[in-house]
């Protein structure tokens, strides 16, 4: 049985705009260097949807192999000295009831007993009972919401099915997701709905924001969509359109609702007028936070079928370790100190609250830029 020697109950302050333990700048400031504080686990490759934008779409399957023993994963987590958060992802993590009972609930119980905050990424379209089981243990239920009606959900959510999906089936799932979200929120679950800024949503974000509030969500997350996996062939939104989409959302939003922006491609070292204006606005708006990207800064992803360790859940960058052979802290230290990809983007300007671009962002918009030689200009 695992040891609970790293219990850290004093970390149990409420998740809020003032305390976001997933943001790597929090641990960077505390330790003076990047430290592994967050572990994401891929617990399934099964999903009842096939979204157009799915970042792990190519890994989705119809049947899946055995997982590594849960004990191996729990021991591995137990050895992470400064663990603050875990995230559980898929596929749809709750797709099989057995995964909920035998993997997800034990992982959440472990996290809770250690004072570690937890998140699940789900589409919330299955029956209420399997989500209800998570209520006593889970900190953040993270869902994707990119639609203004059931027809858009049908179009986007099954774009990669390879066969046509009956509209009525899709509409029922859409309404189930909304009903589940309302019911779980009423029961006290913190639901954070993420919308992507992409070629479909950039001029509809205020309407999407309104629906997210109606669903009882406590946070609206907004991330630009980047070309990974299924999304590889989708049109890339020019930066001007992305900026104006964010401004229009900030104009229309409910200022009481926490808005979290992440993986933005705008940096305080860019120095152009438009980015400066936007970054200043984001900084000043009440209940708005901009999260630095956790991938490879304070977080790794573990595939629970192989034990392989990745920098992110979409496996464009090959695995650089395995939980069966090494401690996660050691695997992370090796990535941090020796991996050439990390050396390209591992910058930090504390006054701007920034610790560098996401790897995909750097690759897509800043291919020839050496961020390590830049400094924040906009404050």
Can you give the binding site for ligand SF4, defined by CB under 6 A? 267-269, 347-349, 352, 354-357, 371, 374-376
| Distances from the Cα of 3 to the Cα of 80, 237, 307, angstroms | 12, 48, 20
- Using the minimum distance from each CB to ligand SF4, give the nearer residue, 110 or 371: 371
Min dist. Cβ of residue 355 to ligand SF4 (A)? 6
Q: How far is the CB of 16 from ligand SF4 (least distance, A)?
A: 24
Q: Of 130 and 348, which has the nearer Cβ to ligand SF4?
A: 348
CB nearer to ligand SF4: give 189 or 347. Answer: 347
Distance CA 45, CA 37 (A): 25
- Give the H/E segment covering residue 196: strand 191-197
CA 196 and chain centroid, separation = 11
> In the bound complex, what is the minimum distance in angstroms from residue 270's beta carbon to ligand SF4?
7
What contacts 191, CB < 8 A, 6 or more positions away? 140, 141, 142, 143, 181, 184, 185, 215, 216, 217, 218, 219
CB of 239 to ligand SF4, least distance (A): 15
Angle at the Cα of 303 from the Cα atoms of 142 and 154, rounded to 5 degrees: 45
Closest CA to 129 of 99, 97, 98: 97
**Min dist. Cβ of residue 91 to ligand SF4 (A):** 32
Least separation in angstroms between residue 99's CB and ligand SF4 is: 38
* Sequence-distant (≥ 6) Cβ neighbours of residue 322 within 8 angstroms: 306, 307, 308, 309
Distance of alpha carbon 378 from alpha carbon 268, whole angstroms: 5
In the bound state with ligand SF4, the residue whose beta carbon lies nearer, of 134 and 268, is: 268
Instruction: Output 294 or 307, the one with its CB closest to ligand SF4.
Output: 294
Q: Is the Cβ of residue 202 or residue 267 nearer to ligand SF4 in the bound state? A: 267
Residue whose CB is less far from ligand SF4, 175 or 375: 375
User: What is the smallest separation between the CB atom of 374 and ligand SF4, expressed in angstroms?
Assistant: 4
Query: Six-digit token pair at 210?
Result: 């309104």
Residue with tokens 């990119």: 146
* Distance in angstroms (rounded) separating the CA atoms of residues 334 and 341: 12
Q: Tell me the C-alpha distance between 351 and 269, whole Å.
A: 11
């Amino acid at each position: 049985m695992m040891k609970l020697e790293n219990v850290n109950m004093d970390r149990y302050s409420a998740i809020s705009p003032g305390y976001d333990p997933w943001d790597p700048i929090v641990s960077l400031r505390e330790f003076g260097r990047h430290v592994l504080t967050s572990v994401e686990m891929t617990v399934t490759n099964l999903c009842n949807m096939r979204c157009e934008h799915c970042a792990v779409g190519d890994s989705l399957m119809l049947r899946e192999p055995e997982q590594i023993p849960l004990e191996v994963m729990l021991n591995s987590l137990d050895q992470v000295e400064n663990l603050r958060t875990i995230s559980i992802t898929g596929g749809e993590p709750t797709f099989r009831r057995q995964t909920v009972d035998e993997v997800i609930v034990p992982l959440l119980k472990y996290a809770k007993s250690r004072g570690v905050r937890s998140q699940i990424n789900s589409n919330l379209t299955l029956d209420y009972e399997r989500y209800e089981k998570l209520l006593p243990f889970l900190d953040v239920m993270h869902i994707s919401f990119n639609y203004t009606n059931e027809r858009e959900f049908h179009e986007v959510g099954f774009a990669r099915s390879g066969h046509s999906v009956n509209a009525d089936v899709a509409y029922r799932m859409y309404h189930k997701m909304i009903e589940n979200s309302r019911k779980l929120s009423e029961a006290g679950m913190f639901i954070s709905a993420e919308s992507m800024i992409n070629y479909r949503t950039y001029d509809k974000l205020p309407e999407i924001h309104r629906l997210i509030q109606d669903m009882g969500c406590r946070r609206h997350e907004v991330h630009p969509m980047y070309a990974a996996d299924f999304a590889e062939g989708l049109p890339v939104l020019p930066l001007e359109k992305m900026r104006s989409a964010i401004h229009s959302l900030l104009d229309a939003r409910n200022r009481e609702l926490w808005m979290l922006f992440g993986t933005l491609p705008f940096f305080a070292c860019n120095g152009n007028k438009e980015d400066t204006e936007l970054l200043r606005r984001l900084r000043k708006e009440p209940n708005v936070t901009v999260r630095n990207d956790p991938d490879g800064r304070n977080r790794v992803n573990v595939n629970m079928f192989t034990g392989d360790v990745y920098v992110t859940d979409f496996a464009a960058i090959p695995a650089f370790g395995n939980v069966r052979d090494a401690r996660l802290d050691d695997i992370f230290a090796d990535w941090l100190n020796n991996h050439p990809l990390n050396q390209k983007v591992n910058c930090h300007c504390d006054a701007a609250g920034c610790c560098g671009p996401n790897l995909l962002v750097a690759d897509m918009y800043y291919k020839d830029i050496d961020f390590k030689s830049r400094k924040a200009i906009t404050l």
